[in-house]
Chain A
Amino acid sequence: ETGVTQSPTHLIKTRGQQVTLRCSSQSGHNTVSWYQQALGQGPQFIFQYYREEENGRGNFPPRFSGLQFPNYSSELNVNALELDDSALYLCASSTRLAGVGDTQYFGPGTRLTVL
C-alpha cells in the first residue's frame, strides 16, 4: 500500500510568481485536504477536495486554488505569491466514513520559500 506522496520536496519562488504543488493520495482514499504550516505553528486548513469538487475551505484568499483528478490525486495552486506564503504545505488523504471522525493521513510536505 502506497502512502501519501507530494512533489516537489522543496521549492523556491520569488514574490508575484505562481506555484503548483502536487499530491497523490493513499490507495483507496477519495478525499484530499491541504494544510499550510508556517514555521513554529500548527497546520492550518486550506481546502478539501472530494470527488473532484471543493468540499470546504478555510480562511485563505482565492489566489489559493486546487484541483482533484479522477484518480483522486490533487494540485494546490497559489498565484501572486507573497512572502507570507513561505511555509510547509501538507497534503492529507482520507476516506469519508459516515458518523466517524475521518482519519487523515499526511504526506511529507512541500517546503515553499518565497523570496
Chain B
Amino acid sequence: AQSVTQLGSHVSVSEGALVLLRCNYSSSVPPYLFWYVQYPNQGLQLLLKYTSAATLVKGINGFEAEFKKSETSFHLTKPSAHMSDAAEYFCAVSGTGPARQLTFGSGTQLTVLP
C-alpha cells in the first residue's frame, strides 16, 4: 500500500529564508505525488503534482518539488518565504485501486517569522 511520511510536524523560518518541507513516500509502483496547502478553517488547495513527466515540478506561489526515486523523496521548497505562506502543508500519494484515493501525510505546520 502507498504511504507518505512528513518529517517535522512544525517548521519555522524567517521571512525571506528558504522553505524546505520534507516528504518521503512508500510505493510498490511509480507514484503520483501531490502537495496541498491548507489555510486556517479552509479546505485544501493544490500546490503541485508529480506524474512522472518531469522530476522537478513547479507549482503555484513560487513552490516547487523534486522527485528523487533513489531517496523515495518529494520535498517541497520555496526560495524565499513570505508571511502569507504560513499554513499547514500536506504531502499525498495517489492509490492504485479503482478510486485512486489520496493517502495523506500527517502535515507540517509552517510558521513564518518576521
Contact = CB atoms under 8 A, between A and B. Distances in A.
Interface residues of A, number: 31
Interface string A85-107: 00000101000100011111111
B26 interface: no
Interface in B73-104: 90, 92, 94-95, 97-104
Interface residues of B, number: 27
A92 B90 CA distance: 15
A70 interface: no
Interface stretch (B14-22, B45-53, B62-70): B45-53
Interface in A17-46: 33, 35, 40-45
Given A42-B90, A43-B90, 15 more contacts: A33-B99, A33-B101, A33-B102, A40-B107, A43-B44, A47-B99, A48-B99, A56-B101, A101-B32, A101-B51, A101-B94, A103-B34, A104-B46, A105-B46, A108-B42
